[in-house]
Amino acid sequence: MTQCKIRTANIIKGSLVNGDGLRYTIFTQGCPHHCDGCHSSHTWNPNDGHWVQIIDMLSDIVKNKSMIDGVTFSGGEPLLQYDKIIFMCKLLKMFGLNIWLWSGYKMEQISVKYPEILKWVDVIIDGSYEKDKPTNKEWRGSSNQKLWKRINGRWSNID
C-alpha cells in the first residue's frame, strides 16, 4: 500500500550538513528541476530509489529524538510527494521536532502551490541550484538560493 510509504533516495540518520545541528535527513526520490551540475542527479527519476514505510521511519525518529536536533527533507524535490511530507510533518510536530525543507521551488511558488507546508516546517531553503552562481552561504549550493525562517508565525528571508 503505497499511501503508507514514501519513495526515498537515501536516509542519513545523523547529518551535520543538512541544517542546523545533528539532523535526521530524508532524501526524497524524484525531481522535476534537473539542475545543471546537480550533485544528486540520481534522485531525478521518480521511479528509482526505494519505498520506505512512513511509520517505521517516524518510529525511528521519535525513538532517537533526544539525540537529534531535527529532521530535514531534501531531495530530489520533497514537494513531489507533498501529501506524504505534510503527513510526516504533522506527526513530527506532535513530538516538537524542528523541520527543515530544501526545495527547488522559490518561496513565491511554494506559498501558492504548496501553502500548507508553510504551517509545518521551520526553515526552507528555496530555489534551484545554479552552478554559475557559487556561494559561501551556509547550507546553500548557489547564491540564488534563499534561507527562509518562520519567526513568530511569519516567514522571513534570513540572508
Mean pLDDT of 48-63: 96
Query: How confident is the model over 14-46, as pLDDT tens digits?
Result: 999 999 999 999 999 999 999 999 989 999 999
Of 20, 13, 10, 9, residue with least CA distance to 125: 20
Looking at the domain assignment, is residue 72 inside a domain? Answer: yes
Structural contact between residues 132 and 113, judged by C-beta atoms closer than 8 angstroms? no
153 lies in a domain? yes
Is residue 75 domain-resident? yes
Selection from 24, 83, 21, 81 nearest residue 49 by Cα = 81
Over residues 98-136, the pLDDT tens digits come to: 999 999 999 999 999 999 999 999 999 999 999 999 999
Domain count, the chain: 1
Local confidence band at 95 (pLDDT 50, 70, 90 cut-offs): very high
Sheet holding 99-102, edge to edge: 50-53, 5-15, 23-28, 70-74, 99-102, 123-126, 146-151, 154-157
Which structural domain range is residue 145 located in? Answer: 2-15+22-30+42-157
Q: What is the CATH number of the domain that holds 64?
A: 3.20.20.70
pTM score, whole prediction: 0.95
Q: Do the domain assignments include residue 36? A: no
Given a cut of 70, whether residue 1 has pLDDT beyond it is no
